[in-house]
Structure 1
């Protein structure tokens, strides 16, 4: 029986699965990234990633020895500057690094209107990762002098296993110097020249399911991965999850509730409105539209700050308490506006915009919990309404809530939508492994079951009243009109 390894390098942990050719998970493991070398907000340590990948591989045990290929997916966009030896010359730079703001303000307007249109995205730090080139050049000149490849996290992971470097279109789409809406899926050479970015340091663009190379490095031997096994280029994490769900133009959209909450739809042509994040799909002629919020992070931050326990247990406690309220208690609960960090599309908040309103002396701990959960879920509803047309079509739902139906039930009630819940926390890793199976052996594993959850009719009126009041409070805190389309301001650029 052929099996395939899928490695999912997330923002806080690495997940790994071994998938059989018929789609069954044979083994799985997870390892949190250990303490890094530091660097503050907006920096990440690839050495910590390497340790968690190693821990996952070792935890998978003897099943690893029989794999027929390796699929990869990673969080995105995080820029990794690497030297000639393939190792990072300094810490990676994440999209939300505050130090990137002045570089974004200076360099983004240098792009022509045509160039920005070609990127398919509203100009923001989240969609202009290439600006890290100038930040590193000025902030860390010694490291920059050793720069040979400016890749993203997926570039680093592929190099770690094979020694070869590449980037796929789903990751390149967020660099701000890549032709996302065109059909050639290539860098924009004129834009690179205008920005003063050396095109030679950018990795070659290859399709996600191309074979990058074979396992051949010292790390592979240390991890227990067989030598000579094919490794595909891989992709970003949301596209990998979309593959596992069989996403294609015309299929159901899906919502992932993890560290970030992502609403994903697949189109047969680019969306030139640049309303939400847009990236190339896994296959030529496909585009993925991602409405994104920092839902999981916001839930964890609020739960911890409001004293619901340590970070690991706080979210579970908040959800448990929030689900036990009577309708009358929910009606008088406060409101949490959850943007505790910058947001990407469709909100495009360059700065945090959060608040807690409606707290009184009679507010209970349970009502505070409900405020936190509702705030995150109602923002998910705003994203859904901006990116997915209303209708009877069910939405796939997956996330880190395990087999507990509480959070999906609260989501269905609050959004008025029907969800097909995939009880699978490692969907991106499964997608990465399945992509490898198709790429290497022309096998398409499918073994995903779902359960349907519908909104409860008896909660509909209360949920709509609370939704209306939430939008009013959201508008007061953010200064935005929640009834207006969630479209970005016109991009200021050179014509």
Structure 2
């Protein structure tokens, strides 16, 4: 039996696992990370801490398992997608990890939009948002001395993989699942866009080569082998973005399958065959799937899941549990007696509306904690419904066959039922919710030639747990409230826009 080392470098911390060639998770570990927040929209992480968390996570998982070191076949990684790290020619970090939550780059967005956001979407698949393009330009304009020292911009999964392999900046890479966030890539052609680089003065020499997720980029160097408890020379594949990995590991390998990532952000993605970028509503991000011929358009509420944790803290997390809040919300009818919640606490990402903020709308004296909490869950579901409607307009009729939910929010039975009811589609959870970890194993196995069929390997690793069928009696009620929600969101966006002008 051969085994794979898998690591998922997330916002809250790093998960690592030992996984066998049949997709069984043998051992796991979690290393928390430090998210550094500062005034002015700064949100960053230490690349050194990020790398150390992977080393410690691998060692901890290996120590828990009884797997012989000699039977470890390959290493696969996934990581946060919309942020970047600047490295020098020797792979040392010049910048901190400029997180996807960091808002400093907002100052670069008006210029990019003025040049032509529709053209940017057509080329990259992504609207102008808090991602690599504006971030790279921010470093260039606001920190020119540091920008000059940057040899390449890399993403977390590539940073860790390259350091484990002892690479230099000239060998830096980015896998194709990150390209929509890169700001300067032609996502269809799998190449850097000369038009965009010329328009914004981006030096191509600072951009890494583009590779498939399964490409072997190097082998584990001795110092890190000793620290991680692995043998020297283990192959390391390029890896992919965490959302792409979660989707792939959840079996999103055929058109018509939906994925709900219920984490810090609330992400909805769908597998489709064609590329039809959202130049009109600027809501859907047209990402590439791990599979080269499949697309995975997505949209997300930045911090959508965090709203639930925020509310629990607000009402006193020491005194009330999520289970108790869910029990209160169960007593509230669908639609919460016309109470709506706006989950965009730090601006709307899809489409980019930085001035929008969170709120409840329609509060009356009868609303209590249960209604306020349920309204948060319903708001996420209404956002998802809107994304599906846009996808239908772009891609034509999409036969949605099933939805799978992963992430911490997948544990919430009521939340799952609400989403199934609002979307009108069967929703399933996984036996093991960490689908990104098993995806990494499938990709690594394909990269070293153990698996002949990449999609088949990923699908064979999937094990479903619970199924939530939509309640058709709630359909008409939720249709009405979803329409009211759209009016509320767009109205609030206009209101905050006017307030910011005064």
TM normalised by structure 1 equals 0.86
- C-alpha displacement of 1:243: 2.1
- C-alpha displacement of 1:146: 2.2
- Provide the C-alpha distance between the structure 1 equivalents of 2:474 and 2:118, rounded to a whole number of angstroms: 47
Which segments of 5 or more consecutive residues in structure 1 lack a partner in the other structure? 481-495
| 1:273 paired residue among 273, 278, 283 | 278
Residue 28 (structure 2) aligns with = 28
Residue 235 (structure 2) aligns with = 230
Residue 498 (structure 2) aligns with = none
Assess if the C-alpha contact under 8 Å between 1:277 and 1:291 holds in 2.
yes
Residue 77 (structure 1) aligns with = 82
| 2:244 paired residue among 235, 239, 248 | 239
Post-superposition CA distance 1:255-299 (Å, at most 9, x none):
221122222222333113345101223233332211222221233
* Greater mean alpha carbon deviation, residues 289-298 or residues 383-392: 383-392
Find the residue that maps to 2:261 and give its secondary structure.
strand
1:229-378 equivalence runs, <5 A: 229-274=234-279, 275=282, 276-294=284-302, 295-304=304-313, 306-309=314-317, 315=322, 317-323=324-330, 325-327=331-333, 331-332=336-337, 334-345=339-350, 347-378=351-382
Cα distance change, pair 38–417 in 1 and its aligned pair in 2 (3 A) = same
Assess if the C-alpha contact under 8 Å between 1:162 and 1:216 holds in 2.
yes
- C-alpha displacement of 1:77: 1.1
- C-alpha displacement of 1:113: 6.7
1:37-436 equivalence runs, <5 A: 41-62=42-63, 63=65, 65=69, 66-107=71-112, 109-110=114-115, 117-122=122-127, 124-126=128-130, 129-164=132-167, 165-182=172-189, 185-216=190-221, 218-274=223-279, 275=282, 276-294=284-302, 295-304=304-313, 306-309=314-317, 315=322, 317-323=324-330, 325-327=331-333, 331-332=336-337, 334-345=339-350, 347-387=351-391, 393-401=401-409, 403-436=411-444
Cα distance change, pair 310–137 in 1 and its aligned pair in 2 (3 A) = farther
Assess if the C-alpha contact under 8 Å between 1:42 and 1:96 holds in 2.
yes
Assess if the C-alpha contact under 8 Å between 1:394 and 1:419 holds in 2.
yes
- Provide the C-alpha distance between the structure 2 equivalents of 1:115 and 1:390, rounded to a whole number of angstroms: 25
Assess if the C-alpha contact under 8 Å between 2:17 and 2:58 holds in 1.
no
Assess if the C-alpha contact under 8 Å between 1:34 and 1:52 holds in 2.
no
- Provide the C-alpha distance between the structure 1 equivalents of 2:117 and 2:387, rounded to a whole number of angstroms: 29
- C-alpha displacement of 1:385: 2.7
* Number of equivalenced pairs: 471
- Provide the C-alpha distance between the structure 1 equivalents of 2:410 and 2:117, rounded to a whole number of angstroms: 46
1:452 is the counterpart of 2:467: yes
Post-superposition CA distance 1:399-418 (Å, at most 9, x none):
21355533212222233322
Cα distance change, pair 317–474 in 1 and its aligned pair in 2 (3 A) = farther
* Greater mean alpha carbon deviation, residues 255-264 or residues 186-195: 186-195
Post-superposition CA distance 1:127-184 (Å, at most 9, x none):
5x133233223433443332111122222122221123211111122112101123xx
Residue 499 (structure 2) aligns with = none
Assess if the C-alpha contact under 8 Å between 1:79 and 1:151 holds in 2.
yes
- C-alpha displacement of 1:36: 4.7
Residue 440 (structure 1) aligns with = 448
Cα distance change, pair 208–466 in 1 and its aligned pair in 2 (3 A) = same
- C-alpha displacement of 1:194: 3.3
Post-superposition CA distance 1:101-127 (Å, at most 9, x none):
2223235544797565222233x1245
- C-alpha displacement of 1:93: 1.7
Assess if the C-alpha contact under 8 Å between 1:31 and 1:52 holds in 2.
yes
Residue 493 (structure 1) aligns with = none
* Greater mean alpha carbon deviation, residues 70-79 or residues 370-379: 370-379
Cα distance change, pair 465–190 in 1 and its aligned pair in 2 (3 A) = closer
Cα distance change, pair 349–471 in 1 and its aligned pair in 2 (3 A) = same
| 2:492 paired residue among 472, 477, 488 | 477
Find the residue that maps to 2:290 and give its secondary structure.
coil
- Provide the C-alpha distance between the structure 1 equivalents of 2:486 and 2:288, rounded to a whole number of angstroms: 32
Find the residue that maps to 2:84 and give its secondary structure.
strand
Cα distance change, pair 224–25 in 1 and its aligned pair in 2 (3 A) = same
- C-alpha displacement of 1:378: 2.1
- Provide the C-alpha distance between the structure 1 equivalents of 2:488 and 2:111, rounded to a whole number of angstroms: 34
Assess if the C-alpha contact under 8 Å between 1:333 and 1:371 holds in 2.
no
**Which of 1 and 2 has higher RCO (CA within 8 Å, sep 6+)?**
1
- C-alpha displacement of 1:469: 4.0
Assess if the C-alpha contact under 8 Å between 1:8 and 1:15 holds in 2.
yes
